[in-house]
Copies of this chain bind each other. A is one copy, B any other.
């Protein structure tokens, strides 16, 4: 009797932003030969775990996040549920599961979550585990169906960031408009005109300038802004689009 459900897991694709790179948090997976100690393979996976008996799946995702980053209260949203029968059937994955988790079902359904964090806050916890950031456009070899998973999470993020102000979850609380623009350019892979971007931001009442400037930079210091979710919720509008 195990405390987890053997055919159900959650996987969190955790994104972080780093000035001009969008990163994913990945954990190294290494299988050694039990006799010789030789390394059979090494690859990476996103942060996942089986759901515990009596645990809500959303709580399972929060638990995984807390375990791997030390953070709670961060942006987290389901984006897709992976239920193909062969999603764990690559040779590496079968070796891994047979070797380490023989009690698991070989048809595990995984609920995928997309999470956005301010990566500065995550750093401290990275030491213990073989966990680190990889740029989304330069991923290492990945286990299971996690490459697909990351690509779908990224598409989810790109769709969502165009339509809702979730980008701020990736930034420090206080940010400059240049950083914000960088973020949009990086995530969406496009270039934006600075003046037009700032004109647009100026219309958004929920991006609020502080009486405070950047310090210690070798150029004109930028104005500092914060994002107010509260103001956003109270001023947002809907649009018709369906899409030309």
Contact = CB atoms under 8 A, between A and B. Distances in A.
Interface stretch (A80-88, A118-126, A128-136): A80-88
A194 to B, nearest CB: 14
A184 B240 contact: yes
A163 to B, nearest CB: 5
A3 interface: no
A22 interface: no
A73 interface: no
A232 to B, nearest CB: 9
Interface in A151-206: 161-165, 167, 184, 188, 190, 192, 200, 203-204
Contacts of A237: 243-244
A7 B84 CA distance: 16
Interface string A231-244: 00000111111111
Contacts of A109: 8, 57, 109, 111
A97 interface: no
Contact of A56 (B51, B54, B84): B84
B204 A240 contact: no
Contacts of A85: 54-56
Name the residue in A8, A57, A244 with the highest tally of chain B Cβ atoms < 10 Å from its Cβ.
A244
A19 to B, nearest CB: 20
A167 B163 CA distance: 20
Contact of A83 (B58, B188, B244): B58
A171 to B, nearest CB: 13
A78 interface: yes
14 contacts: A7-B7, A7-B8, A56-B84, A56-B85, A57-B83, A58-B83, A78-B81, A81-B111, A109-B109, A165-B242, A188-B240, A237-B244, A239-B241, A239-B243
Interface of A: 5, 7-8, 51, 53-58, 60, 78, 80-81, 83-85, 107, 109, 111, 161-165, 167, 184, 188, 190, 192, 200, 203-204, 236-244
